[in-house]
Structure 1
Amino acid sequence: MNNQIIATFSIAAYDPDREEWGLAVQSKFLGVGSVVPWAKAGVGAVATQAFANPAYGPDGLKLLEEGLPAEEVIKRLTDDDLQKEDRQVGVIDSSGRAATFTGKDCYDWAGGITGKHYAAQGNILVNEETVTDMGNAFEKSEGPLADRLIRAIQAAQEAGGDSRGKQSAAILVVKDQAGYGGLSDIAVDLRVDDHPEPIKELERIYRLHQLYFGETKEEDIQLIDEDVKREMAGHLVRLGYLESKEVDDKVFYESYTTYLHTENFEGRELDQGKVDRKVLDFMKSQSEKS
């Protein structure tokens, strides 16, 4: 088998309510996230795999930006490609229209499906259910697009997955000004390049991503009364930010602020006298500093 073939399953999708485009992918291939997923906010998403042509990514996004629908984009990409029968590609356009293509020479099982706002495809799979269950899971799931994409590839793996095994996974979601500090359109861009359980590891780091970069919800705001302060001070002592739990408010809040900034929780920093419960839960889960 050609070592450039990426035995893969992926899903490209669109959320019209949140105006998000994205992809999730798993493969028996090192660093699949560097090849398969491509997306641009307000434009669409492209997954290029099998005997992958990396040019399908930027070229496909350019065609989408020109206003071509997903099916026409795939036609343009494959028409002049002499190796198109070895390729696989899925496309979502700016309106959420979906298209997928599987060349007749892709290794079995290979194929794809489209549904409302998604294209799911895969090659060298255990069975067709890998793709159909991926689509069904996406259709039935709720919440942010990233959550739905991860649930979809989890269902694909549970249905059979890549017949050669598993090695890497990735997720990419774009939305206008949804990136760090509102200065980019990359809402989520996470990769697991080499791991025995890549989807589980991808979900773990995605949950960390949401913890660090998500916004505090109203129901997660906890007032720091004396009992909560005592509990937090105990954690700050255990983690090396305080020498004693018996400190005045000034020292306590200074040490807590240092903790927040050291752990990159600036986005969950609240007014003095309040703590995000997710931060408090994270503090409880941490081991002592070595």
Structure 2
Amino acid sequence: MKEKTGRRWQRGTAPGTFSIAAYDPDADSFGGAVTTGAVAVGATCPHVSANGAVMTQSWTKTAHGVHALELVDRGVGVATACNALLDADEYSSYRQLHGIDRDGETFAFTGADCVEWAGETVGENHTVAGNMLVGPEVIEAVSETFTETGGDLADRLLAALAAGAEAGGDKRGKVSGALLVHAPEPKLYHNLRIDSAETPIADLRALYEETKQTVRDIPKEAEEMLGGVPDEIVDFGVKY
């Protein structure tokens, strides 16, 4: 593997991240959470559907996440889907790709040309990967925290991100973060992004809590403005 750790990267342009893709079979929900030392990671890395979650990173090819889930939604296993995409990608050695489907099948790949430290791990109902990290302890902390944390899938994903940062995280520091969850009843707080910030993980958690409160407040506010309204009026849904 090429040694690239001495390279000085320009803010907003470098590869590198750590992320988790997960499935909550009890809630029938898929989710992904990610943070990185580059801007706007939510625009490229996390991909979810009713049947899977896939994260694409390092020298990111966003289409891999899109096309992997298209195949998964047609009944192709996530490993078969991701392997097919990487086999057709002449630059696959620069990619990281990982995810999970509703059968519990997992996939995790780190190309040989990803910036050190780079690697991945697979746990029960989740996968974790990262590159340009201080070491493997980061993805281990993400995985262990997700496994040991109870509650809603989104809460568990955010706790896992925070644990990865506490373990050292991206060696450049953090700039952006994102949370994306596909649930039977999607809520505004299932699709959140911090595109550029000094503390994106803390900001993402604060945004999550604020958005949950907003969702709780909307029915009351709608009733005050409009009188009695059907639930459909205040159930916005989420775009993916």
- Superposed counterparts of 1:1-290, under 5 Å: 5-41=14-50, 43-179=51-187, 188-214=190-216, 265-268=217-220
Partner letter of residue 123 of structure 1?
N
The CA deviation at 1:170 is: 0.4
Tell me which structure has the larger Cα radius of gyration. 1
- Is the contact between residue 26 and residue 153 of structure 1 (CA under 8 Å) also seen in structure 2? yes
**Residue identity matched to 2:26:** D
Distance 1:161 1:268 in 2: 41
- Asked if the contact 2:16/2:38 (under 8 Å) is kept, the reply is yes
Identify unmatched segments of 5+ residues in structure 2: 1-6, 225-240
- Distance in 1 of aligned mates of 2:20 and 2:214: 26
Q: Retained in 2: the 8 A contact 1:13–1:96?
A: no
Partners in 2 of 1:176 and 1:270 — Cα distance?
Answer: 23
Q: Aligned residue for 1:233? A: none
User: 3-state DSSP class of the match of 1:75?
Assistant: helix
Deviation at 1:188, TM superposition (A): 0.6
Q: Deviations over 1:183-203 (max 9, x none)?
A: xxxx61000011100000000
Letter aligned with residue 194 of structure 1:
S
Higher-RCO chain (CA-CA 8 Å, sequence separation at least 6): 2
**In the alignment, is the contact (CA less than 8 A) between 1:20 and 1:173 conserved in 2?**
yes
1:131-159 per-position Cα deviation (integer Å, ceiling 9, x unaligned): 01100000000111000000001000000
Quick one: structure 1 residues 266 and 63, their matched pair in 2 at CA, closer, same or farther if it must change by over 3 Å? Answer: same
Deviation at 1:271, TM superposition (A): 9.3
Distance 1:179 1:271, change over 3 A: closer
Asked whether the 8 Å contact 1:5–1:52 carries over to 2, the reply is no
Write the letter of the residue equivalent to 1:100: A
Uncovered stretches (5+) of structure 1, i.e. residues with no partner = 181-186, 215-264, 273-290
- Per-residue Cα deviation, 1:14-63 (whole angstroms, up to 9, x for no partner): 1011111010000001111001011112x111100001111111101111
Q: Distance in 1 between matches of 2:223 and 2:85?
A: 53
TM-score by length of 2: 0.84
Secondary structure in structure 1 of the residue aligned to 2:197: coil
**Identity between Structure 1 and Structure 2 (%):** 36
* Structure 1 CA distance for aligned equivalents of residues 222 and 43 of structure 2: 37
Partners of 1:96 and 1:205 lie apart in 2 by 30
Q: TM-score, normalised by structure 1?
A: 0.70
Confirm or deny: 8 A CA contact 1:138 1:152 kept in the other structure. yes
CA contact (8 A) 1:169 1:193 kept: yes
Change in CA separation of 1:54 and 1:270 when aligned onto 2, cut-off 3 Å: closer
Q: 1:114 to 1:271 in 2, by over 3 A?
A: same
Whether the 8 Å CA contact 2:176–2:196 is kept in 1: the answer is yes
The answer as to whether partners of 2:14 and 2:37 remain within 8 angstroms in 1 is: no
Q: Deviations over 1:226-272 (max 9, x none)?
A: xxxxxxxxxxxxxxxxxxxxxxxxxxxxxxxxxxxxxxx23356999
Number of residue pairs matched by the alignment: 215
User: Shift of the alpha carbon at 1:179?
Assistant: 3.7
Deviation of 1:176 after TM superposition, in Å, equals: 2.4
